[in-house]
């Protein structure tokens, strides 16, 4: 699995759909499945702040809602309009840990196309998920 500039172009499309009237911090997510399908996510805020959903989780929820299962995902690309790429929040890291393989690439980009590559496991080392309940 190797990052390419098409991922950046696609994630920027997703970012345009963000609904952020409070923070004005648009985040987009571009989730690729192992069978070649894609799901887009955007953060959606709410006046009741805890009710917001992040772009990463919205793309994963869309995929699961369409019949995909944990482990079916190839990579996720995230973008923000900031001077540095941003990493997923704690809640998103936990959902990634639950639904994705530990070695799945996570590509974090900013508006200039700069990219930091990580994996689910590196973002949440020693994380706990449903996978651990079967041991």
The answer to whether residue 30 scores a pLDDT higher than 80 is: yes
- Check residues 20 and 49 and name the one with the higher pLDDT: 20
Report the half-sphere exposure of 64 (CA within 13 A, side-chain side): 13
Q: Is 10 a catalytic residue?
A: no
63 is annotated as contributing to ligand binding: no
54 is in an annotated binding site: yes
Q: Can you give the residue ranges of every domain in the chain?
A: 5-125
Asked whether residue 49 is marked as a ligand-binding residue, the answer is yes
46 marked ligand binding residue? yes
- From the candidates 10, 56, 98, 114, which is the catalytic residue? 56
- Average of per-residue pLDDT values in the chain: 95
Q: What is the pLDDT of residues 58-68, one digit of tens each?
A: 999 999 999 99
Look-up: residue for tokens 């651990």?
132
Closest by alpha carbon to 100, among 66, 127, 135, 134? 127
Task: Give the predicted TM-score (pTM) of the model.
Answer: 0.94
Q: Which fold has domain 5-125?
A: Cytidine Deaminase; domain 2 (3.40.140)
Closest CA to 54 of 24, 89, 30, 79: 89
Strands 27-33 and 73-80: antiparallel
Which residue is associated with the tokens 């990052």? 3
């Amino acid at each position: 699995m190797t990052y390419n500039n098409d991922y950046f172009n696609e994630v920027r499309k997703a970012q345009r759909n963000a609904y952020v009237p409070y923070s004005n911090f648009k985040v987009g997510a571009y989730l690729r499945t192992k069978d070649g399908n894609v799901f887009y996510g955007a953060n959606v805020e709410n006046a009741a702040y805890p009710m917001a959903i992040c772009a990463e989780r919205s793309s994963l929820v869309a995929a699961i809602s369409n019949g995909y299962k944990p482990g079916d995902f190839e990579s996720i690309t995230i973008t923000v309009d900031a001077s540095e790429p941003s990493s997923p929040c704690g809640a998103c890291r936990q959902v990634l840990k639950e639904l994705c393989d530990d070695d799945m690439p996570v590509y974090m980009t900013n508006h200039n196309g700069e990219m930091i590559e990580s994996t689910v496991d590196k973002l949440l080392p020693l994380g706990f998920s449903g996978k651990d309940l079967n041991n």
